[in-house]
Structure 1
């Protein structure tokens, strides 16, 4: 999709405006932990539900095409630039104990989270989104995985919103419960990095307990973030494999059907694009890793780091606004079971993460 008209530019500009408003609101003390991304989604949803009607003209590029462009391409660009947060050398120095612990926890959270969500009767795509957002890095992971499973906009928005709300709630609870957790400042930082959803949540929880707490929290959290790439590739392979099986089942001739019926079935089946069953390597995941490598080995000037981070966050926020603009709030009714499943998963991650910190990281 390319920007082809002023109407499309106005759609992109709308997402930028909502992103700026979300950023401004996030500076308020009461809204700081919610973050600009979630606020942008909420603003987009509110605009879509109660704002002026946006004309939809199928024959020409329109405003809706503009914010769809933001929700697809600008969002992926933001994920690519997010790689500048990675320091592969620091992660390597953390040792096999930290990275190995995170690999086990992320895999366990993904599997258990998907199983819990399905037991609650949640659609499999939303189940994967919630599991990934909880297991890895909140909104960015939820969106990256949603791209891989080709989720609908309302599924993506619901998954992002649920993960963000729960991450904020647990951040506040950690602050209140710190005196009773029996953890040193350093161990508490690691505990925050192991269990909280967003990097912003880890920073908010660990900062009050000193520099070592914050350093440990970010190190452990980034070891989760780096797992986004392999998890996204695996989920993409899994999703394509499922699509392939469903496609084959749809076109398989029935033993009782007539030849004419079989031909009609084959014609009506929509062929899927990726049927080989090979693991896809999406360009935004490759870009994420490449940018991380460039940052790690100082190919990118140090003076670029903060501008790139800020650009990444703003592009992600514009993309989130674009997602919100595609969703009417009324379409999210019935999300209670998804929230309950995510809450149960988050509680389990807290318990298991606490045990991992006490037994493996800070015995």
Structure 2
């Protein structure tokens, strides 16, 4: 334990700084993106002693897995049943189109397959959270994750601004606008922020959140499919990662509990009421943030910079494709 505390402490300090910066004047940038960028700056400006390496690697490998398992708390498979077949088909189609397009366009531009798929996954499921969950499943490199998280977060922020502007301009009903926002924007926060552009009491916010969370619920089956595909393409058989199985089980557990209420998710501590679900979500966010900082600390800036620009172009194309396809699907389905 003594040989990991230095690296862990460094990732924790940078994580806290990232949270503070996001809360103060960088709230338009995701905390994970800030953490990655700070990690890259620290690693490339200062020479980090070798004694920090084990702690940084521990945060990147072990703490990331814990964060992914707890990420399952956010899943709610019962939401899929609440959506009509038209919307569910639209969501599944968009995820398939995004990942496929990202893979082949990336391949045409000589981007490695893992990075290309991560860009598609982040664009179509739930942004940075999906990227960090899928990356180990397909054997992606740390730099692939850092690049894709940064690019997805940037485009998500731009998307919120554009969608909020178009909210009052496009001839869409509140229901249609909510479906559009929920089915095409990258992260959960991005989709909800855009869906609420017509007012927090508007049905667009409710339906946008519902559609977005249905995409999150599809993270588990997408992970299973991609693991199978990448195992075949690499001509080797690998066991499905245990932490992803735990992630799925946690999602099923909390989904079933939401319906049957087998166990309480809130408890009293003195005069306070603690929501266990909310607490676990926050712990998951902190763990994943620490692992993203650790990832940044292992990035070589020159390599990152050259690949990030190409990834940004490809991901922008995928974002526009998803957005337009979603609009067309909403129109054709008569939602």
Q: What is the CA RMSD across the aligned residues, in angstroms? A: 1.8
Is 1:182 equivalent to 2:182 in the alignment? no
Is 1:232 equivalent to 2:223 in the alignment? yes
13, 24, 31: which one aligns with 2:9: 13
CA contact under 8 A between 1:117 and 1:127: conserved in structure 2?
A: yes
- Deviation beyond 4 Å, 4+ runs, structure 1: none
State which drifts further: 328-337 or 37-46.
Answer: 328-337
Equivalent-residue separation in structure 2 for 1:240 and 1:308 (angstroms): 32
306, 323, 329: which one aligns with 1:350: 323
Q: Which residue of structure 2 aligns with residue 203 of structure 1?
A: 192
Equivalent-residue separation in structure 1 for 2:68 and 2:32 (angstroms): 13
Q: Which residue of structure 1 aligns with residue 114 of structure 2?
A: 125
Q: How does 1:154-303 map to 2 (within 5 A)?
A: 154-209=143-198, 210-211=200-201, 212-244=203-235, 275-276=236-237, 280-298=239-257, 299=262, 301-303=264-266
Computing the radius of gyration from Cα coordinates, the structure with the larger value is 1
Q: Look up the SS of the partner of 1:181 in the other structure.
A: coil
Is 1:71 equivalent to 2:60 in the alignment? yes
Q: Which residue of structure 2 aligns with residue 39 of structure 1?
A: 34
Distance change (3 Å), C-alpha of 1:281 and 1:301: farther
CA contact under 8 A between 2:167 and 2:197: conserved in structure 1?
A: no
Q: Look up the SS of the partner of 2:4 in the other structure.
A: helix
TM value normalised by structure 1: 0.83
Q: Which residue of structure 1 aligns with residue 48 of structure 2?
A: 54
Q: How far off its partner does 1:300 sit?
A: 5.0
Equivalent-residue separation in structure 2 for 1:359 and 1:34 (angstroms): 35
Deviations 1:232-285 (A, max 9, x none): 1222222222222xxxxxxxxxxxxxxxxxxxxxxxxxxxxxx34x7x432222
Equivalent-residue separation in structure 1 for 2:297 and 2:263 (angstroms): 35
Q: How many residue pairs are counted as aligned between the two chains? A: 319
Equivalent-residue separation in structure 1 for 2:88 and 2:68 (angstroms): 21
Distance change (3 Å), C-alpha of 1:300 and 1:19: farther
CA contact under 8 A between 1:117 and 1:342: conserved in structure 2?
A: no
CA contact under 8 A between 1:86 and 1:292: conserved in structure 2?
A: yes
Deviations 1:70-116 (A, max 9, x none): 11221222122122122222321223232222111111111111111
CA contact under 8 A between 1:167 and 1:201: conserved in structure 2?
A: yes
Distance change (3 Å), C-alpha of 1:230 and 1:90: closer
Deviations 1:13-70 (A, max 9, x none): 2112211111111113x5223211111111111111113x2222xxxxx311111111
Q: How far off its partner does 1:355 sit?
A: 1.6
Q: Look up the SS of the partner of 1:183 in the other structure.
A: coil
Q: How far off its partner does 1:229 sit?
A: 1.2
Q: Which residue of structure 1 aligns with residue 271 of structure 2?
A: none
Equivalent-residue separation in structure 1 for 2:264 and 2:42 (angstroms): 40
- 5+ residue gaps, structure 1, are 57-61, 245-274
CA contact under 8 A between 2:76 and 2:217: conserved in structure 1?
A: no
Equivalent-residue separation in structure 2 for 1:307 and 1:177 (angstroms): 35
State which drifts further: 303-312 or 87-96.
Answer: 87-96
TM value normalised by structure 2: 0.90
- 5+ residue gaps, structure 2, are 267-275
Equivalent-residue separation in structure 1 for 2:43 and 2:4 (angstroms): 16
CA contact under 8 A between 1:128 and 1:145: conserved in structure 2?
A: no
CA contact under 8 A between 1:33 and 1:204: conserved in structure 2?
A: no
Equivalent-residue separation in structure 1 for 2:38 and 2:167 (angstroms): 33
Equivalent-residue separation in structure 2 for 1:176 and 1:327 (angstroms): 36
Equivalent-residue separation in structure 1 for 2:158 and 2:304 (angstroms): 21
Q: Look up the SS of the partner of 1:179 in the other structure.
A: coil
CA contact under 8 A between 2:137 and 2:240: conserved in structure 1?
A: no
Deviations 1:182-214 (A, max 9, x none): 223332222111011100111221223224222
Q: Look up the SS of the partner of 2:169 in the other structure.
A: helix
